[in-house]
Every structure is written in structure tokens, then in C-alpha cells.
Amino acid sequence: MTDPRKQDFSPTLIDFGPIQFYIARHFGFCYGVENAIEISYRALEENPDKRVFLLSQMIHNQEVNRDLQSRGIKFIMDTDGTQFIDWKELNADDIVIIPAFGTTIDIENKLTEIGIQVQQYNTTCPFVEKVWKRSEKLGQDNHTIIIHGKHNHEETRATFSHSNQTAPSVIVRNLEETVQLTKVMKGEISKDDFYSLFEGRYSEGFDPAKHLTKVGVVNQTTMLATETQEIADFVKQTMIEIYGNDELKDHFADTRDTLCYATNDNQDSTYGLLEMDADIAVVVGGYNSSNTSHIVELCERKFPTYFINSDKEIISNTEIHHYDYNNKRKLISEGWLPDNEPTKVILTSGASCPDTLVDAVMLKMVSYFNKTKSVEELMEEFK
């Protein structure tokens, strides 16, 4: 049955016989990422005699970035803003691609001063730009912007750069930090303690006594949508406690329409996976991918979960190299693949992972089992 409104988040079962996969209903590349990659390859084709640079990683996927680099693209900085190539080395003839996460106004201005056509190959995701536009509108209506995100993530840096042009802005990482912020709103935490707790995460001239009385919450689009909504609901409830329900509209803006549909769909599809009875979960994606890490976080609630960036991390049916996102370290696990039949596997990926990588992981796992159905047989079943 077709699902034109994408409301069915139940997974698809791919049954090879001795091994079965539950595949998320929605996973892999979103529109913003597909668009960014397409524009990057077009920039290379259209400028064979020019130097082509990426401001930073196009997306948080090692395989895609390695391929772009192999074709001659150079990265100006890493995702945390550490400079590889000095601005002085660039000239007006160079091509600079803005990644899907967008960039700060300061960096845009630097490139413009050099003479580089910033908008020529700007791949900023439309959903990121939607957050910027909503932030601008909220600022014009005298709201302060609370950004749910990781303050050193390039998308959050870009959103913060845009939002604080028109509005006082502050970044919260999670609900715990939001609770601290609401204590500032209620006068339970002092102004000085606010500056200490949120150092490096508030806009210049931010005065918590003045700037936390009328707010709206937006997010880094790759954060858990449910967590962003939880944060917004908590702030909303605080405003009701302080000002009363009748005055809420003068102190809090409903911004749930800024949540990215693709991140939402991938995460909702992961909740669909959690309904399944499976032995393990395998999540494919870049180790520095925020949205992929959240999918890993969800899967870990129920299954032994292996976070890998490609099929190359699967060494054998007894050894896998995978990533511990919480502690930021690589792990090697033995005896990872159960030998019961059928072995049931949850398989999904983040929004920055090509479908071909997921296919390669699935086929490599299938190769460790005997008497499996062929891909052609399965294709016939799905016709």
C-alpha cells in the first residue's frame, strides 16, 4: 500500500531466510543532502580549470567526503571551524561551496570581500534556511531565540550567527540545560551564574533580566525532534507559571513548524523499528553525524547496537569495528553476529548516508550465512 503522507512508520521486512532485516520506512539521504551533493559534483564539472573548495565537510559522511576529495575538492576547515587553508590563500577566481549546514554571516562576508561568488554554489538546506527566517521573524517581534543544538556544531554556529542579527540568542544542549535556563527566568539563578553556565553560548549584550521574558525555541535540524519539542513544552510551561495562561501568547511563540521533516521521519521510523523483535541493530552513517547519533541513541534503548560508517567496518562474522558515540572512541567487538536462525537485524542509517552503503552492509552480513535467498528472488517477492 502506498503511503503518500508518510504516516506509516512500520519497517519493511527483508527475509533472506537464515538472516532477516527490518529496514526503517524512511532512512538515508534527505532532500537537502541530495541537493548539496548534486551541486558539489556540478561545481566540479562546470569549473574544470579552477580550484574548487568546500567550506567544510559537505555532509557528515566519510565516504561522500572522501569521494569529493579524490576528485580534487579541498576543505577549507573542519566541522568545528579549525582552519586548514588560510583565507589569504583564496582568490576571486576560486570556487567555494557552502555546505548543507550553511555558514555564519562573518564567513560569508569574508568570502564576499575576497570576491568569491558565495551564492553560486550555496547548498544550504532549505530547512536550515527556514529556521533562520523564522528566527528573524521572531526577532522582529521582540522575541529572544533559544536554540536547541550543540554549540560547536557548524549548523548551530550558522543559526546562532543569523539569529543574533535580529534577536538576543542563547543555545541549550538538552533539557537539563533548559531547566537551568528556566531557573534564570524565575529568578532562582542569578545573572552572574547565567553568564557562567552559558559561557560562549549567548549573544553579545545578552541580559537575562530583560531577554528571557519573551522567547521562541528553534533547533539544529539534526537534533531529536521529540527532545526539541520537550524543551519547547518545558519553556512554555515555565512561561505559564510566571505570567499565567492568558498572557502566554505575549511571552512564548509556538515554533514546532520549523522541525525538519526528514529528521522527523527518520526518527519516527526508528521508533517503528523499536516495536520489532530483533537480535541486534546496525546503524550506518558518519561518526560525526548528529542525526545518525540520535538514531543510535534510540536503538540502544532496546537492542545491542553497532554504529558503523560502512561495510568495511565489518571484518568478519565474529569481528566488527564500531563507534561508541557517547565516549567518542572506536571499539572492536567479538562475537557480534548471533548464529541463531533466523538472525533478526534492525538496519537503518542517518540522513547523510548513501543508500548504497546500507545495501553493502546488508549484503556483507548475508554473505556469512548459508542457503540464503538471492537478491533476484527477493526482488520477485517485492513485485
What is the DSSP track for 215-253? EEEEE-TTS-HHHHHHHHHHHHHHHHHHH-GGGGGGTEE
Write down the pLDDT at residue 260.
Answer: 67
Contact residues for 293 (Cβ-Cβ < 8 A; gap 6+) = 307, 325, 350
Tell me if residue 334 is catalytic. Answer: no
38: amino acid identity, one letter: E
CB-facing half-sphere around the CA of 256: CA atoms within 13 A:
11
Name the stretches of the chain with pLDDT < 50: 1-6
Write down the pLDDT at residue 81.
Answer: 77
Write down the pLDDT at residue 4.
Answer: 45
The answer to whether the beta carbons of residues 98 and 58 sit under 8 Å apart is no
Write down the pLDDT at residue 264.
Answer: 67
Indicate the helix (H) or strand (E) that contains 118.
none
The DSSP output letter for 49 is T
Write down the pLDDT at residue 2.
Answer: 46
Cα–Cα distance, 138 to 102 (Å, whole number):
20
Of 63, 108, 154, 155, which is the active-site residue? 155
Q: Which domains does the chain have, with CATH numbers?
A: 12-29+262-381 (3.40.1010.20), 31-114 (3.40.50.11270), 138-258 (3.40.1010)
C-alpha cell at 298: 534510540
Q: Which residue pairs, CB below 8 angstroms and at least 24 apart, start in 258-262?
A: 258/127, 258/130, 258/131, 258/134, 258/218, 258/219, 259/219, 259/221, 259/225, 259/228, 259/229, 260/30, 260/125, 260/127, 260/221, 260/222, 260/225, 261/127, 262/26, 262/30, 262/31, 262/32, 262/127, 262/351
The DSSP output letter for 60 is S
Write down the pLDDT at residue 7.
Answer: 58
